[in-house]
Structure 1
Amino acid sequence: MKKYLLLPLLILVLFGCSNNETQETYHPKTLKVQFVPSQNAETLEAKAKPLGKLLSKELNMPVKVSIATSYNTIVEAMRSKQADVAFLPPTAYVMAHDQGAADVILKSLHETEVNGKKSVTDYYRGQFVVNRDSKIKNIEDIKNKRIALQESTSTSGYLYPVGLLQDKGIDIEKDLKTVMVKGHDKAITALINNEVDVAATFQDARDYLEKDYPRVKKETRIIAVTKKIPNDTISVQADLDKKLKEDIKGAFIKLSKDKASKKIIKEIYSHDGYAPTNDKSYDTIRKYVKAQSKE
């Protein structure tokens, strides 16, 4: 894979248009909510539609949900107002925001349990997965192997894993055969089918395959994880009506606290709740993007 696949997108983050320009207030008649295809699109859409109905009831307005065809197109959807609200992973959010197309309103939360004690985290990690019988034991062993990656706008499926590889002296162009896939479940599937030697995904993407492939965790293993990644965002159009922004924020927080609604939300991306956040929280992503654009 050549650098030119990454640079055109990343350069927009560094030199994109400002988000501070005065804009007219935007209030759509139908709220368009879009999701990134981190798993099978048809399955994801079926999970997302019930959330759309709940939002419609809370906001007292029509809500249309859709699944982006790729991580890249969801950024374009925000730019062209084909989406008013988007579940953006950190890298996609930074790109959209720095082009003046999105403001973050919420970050997702995840419940974890260690030694019987539950806690809520606002971060996650990427992981490198290999088959159980693979001779690959660590990051260094990945050199000259086939690796499944997501598009460059995927934080856990590209940005952070590639950053870790580079830290270990592995050039993704010269030292690896990259296989680009759409969906973290597809990356694991490619691994199981021996189409790749390593899959870079969010932790733990294998959960999404357990229903159809119960032995997935027994037949694969994690060899490394990335540094902490700020959790995914719920972002809205930068010029969206201020009251509507607050209503959307309130609706998501309220729904995430209701037992029945929370179950629907968790089915989509394993989110356990939402909390307010701001753009500054994603500056660490900008540093990763800037570093890789120089490579």
Structure 2
Amino acid sequence: MTNAGRTGLLACAIAVCASAAMAGANAEQCARPYLAAPYSDCNNDLVADLPADPALWRNPPTLVWAYAPIEDPAVYAELFKPFTNHLGQCLERQIVYYPVLTGAAEIEALKSGRLHFAGFATGSTVTAVREAGAVPFATKGIGDEVRGYRLIAVVRKGSPYHKLSDLAGRRVAHSSPLSNSGNLAPRALFPEQGLRPDIDYMPIMSGGHDKSLLGLVAGDYDMAAVASDVYERMADRGMIDPESVRIIYESPLFPTSSFVYAHDLDPELSSALERCFFGFLFPPEMQAEFNGDTNFIPLSYKDSWATVRDVMGRANAMAE
């Protein structure tokens, strides 16, 4: 090994040790109201620190991961096969994809240690960080461009509803409690448009964005609050006909799903995982499914999720 290589390894080791020391030196002093116990955040990046004791770091021979159940989990199990295989070769260990049925189940699996890394929906990312020690490190994009999605309000084309305030007293589908565009953003943003959840209408939890849209088309709901990227994917697959519906509201742009690892992964493993993520180019089927996204991009949770945290704070304040 060259002197430069030895110097690099030494610098890396020092950085890891310094990070661990920071995490544990004043764990109680670094407890934060935005993180559940026992997580701490000494460097104020809003995510849980690495445990100070290396004995608590995990580096298992088999890694289990999951992706947000925004739609049918079976769709993603097949779609991510090339990526799962890539990770297995890149990390030289077994990688198991575990389909989860709800965002809450995914968060609990990460918290309990059954998942080592995962892809979370936008709103669930915040809950996973706060309650399960998730460390977001990547999102999807094109090259260096991070793209997003919007909350949209969709009605049937022939309906008499043209603005949100027209939906007072009607059947409005939300997707699930932890969903950003499917529940939290409507609660924060719809009142500005004259439509107050739980007052002007009682949200009906459909169980998913796809279920909200299919229920809308079937006549079960008068309006569906969903993510624009899910709407676009379903239209591309022919699951809904864009000519049969109308979009009467669009929100500002939100970031897309995040990819996280558990805060207690061995730093060498988490670094290798990041390297393998960022070295993967989406095959054509993944690009088609994810609206043209081509690769994973590094993210800063503190910066990229600021708008989402604000929306969640406003939604929770309105619910109190």
TM-score w.r.t. the length of structure 1 is 0.84
Counterpart in the other structure of 1:292 = 315
Query: How many pairs were matched up?
Result: 273
Change (3 A) 1:110 1:175: farther
Q: Which moved more, 1:263-272 or 1:65-74?
A: 263-272
Deviation digits for residues 57-97 of structure 1 (CA, Å, limit 9, x no counterpart): 12111000122111111111111112111111232121121
Q: Secondary structure of 1:162's match?
A: helix
Given that residues 262 and 273 in structure 1 are in contact (C-alpha distance below 8 angstroms), is that contact kept between their aligned partners in structure 2? no
Given that residues 38 and 182 in structure 1 are in contact (C-alpha distance below 8 angstroms), is that contact kept between their aligned partners in structure 2? no
Change (3 A) 1:110 1:225: farther
Given that residues 124 and 231 in structure 1 are in contact (C-alpha distance below 8 angstroms), is that contact kept between their aligned partners in structure 2? yes
Counterpart in the other structure of 2:286 = 265
- 1:110 Cα deviation from its structure 2 partner: 5.3
Given that residues 50 and 264 in structure 1 are in contact (C-alpha distance below 8 angstroms), is that contact kept between their aligned partners in structure 2? no
Q: Distance in 2 between matches of 1:75 and 1:102?
A: 9
Given that residues 36 and 74 in structure 1 are in contact (C-alpha distance below 8 angstroms), is that contact kept between their aligned partners in structure 2? yes
**Structure 2 portions without partners, runs of 5+:** 1-31, 42-48
Change (3 A) 1:209 1:228: closer
Q: Distance in 1 between matches of 2:64 and 2:115?
A: 5
Q: Which moved more, 1:57-66 or 1:207-216?
A: 207-216
Counterpart in the other structure of 2:152 = 127
Given that residues 185 and 315 in structure 2 are in contact (C-alpha distance below 8 angstroms), is that contact kept between their aligned partners in structure 1? no
Q: Which moved more, 1:210-219 or 1:277-286?
A: 210-219
- 1:145 Cα deviation from its structure 2 partner: 1.5
Counterpart in the other structure of 1:277 = 299
Counterpart in the other structure of 2:65 = 33
Q: In the alignment, does 2:206 pair up with 1:186?
A: no
Q: Which has the higher strand share?
A: 1
Q: Distance in 2 between matches of 1:285 and 1:41?
A: 24
Q: Distance in 2 between matches of 1:62 and 1:15?
A: 31
Given that residues 37 and 182 in structure 1 are in contact (C-alpha distance below 8 angstroms), is that contact kept between their aligned partners in structure 2? no
Alignment of 1:168-207 (within 5 A): 168-207=193-232
Change (3 A) 1:159 1:89: same
AA of the residue aligned to 2:312: V
AA of the residue aligned to 1:34: A
| RMSD across aligned positions (CA) | 2.4
AA of the residue aligned to 1:291: R
Deviation digits for residues 143-202 of structure 1 (CA, Å, limit 9, x no counterpart): 211111122221121221221112234321121132212222111100110000111111
Change (3 A) 1:204 1:132: farther
Change (3 A) 1:61 1:233: same
Identity value in percent: 20
AA of the residue aligned to 2:211: K
Change (3 A) 1:142 1:35: same
Structure whose CA Rg is larger: 2
Q: Which moved more, 1:240-249 or 1:160-169?
A: 160-169
Q: Distance in 1 between matches of 2:241 and 2:106?
A: 30
Given that residues 236 and 245 in structure 1 are in contact (C-alpha distance below 8 angstroms), is that contact kept between their aligned partners in structure 2? yes
Counterpart in the other structure of 2:267 = 242
Q: Which has the higher contact order (CA 8 A, sep 6+)?
A: 1
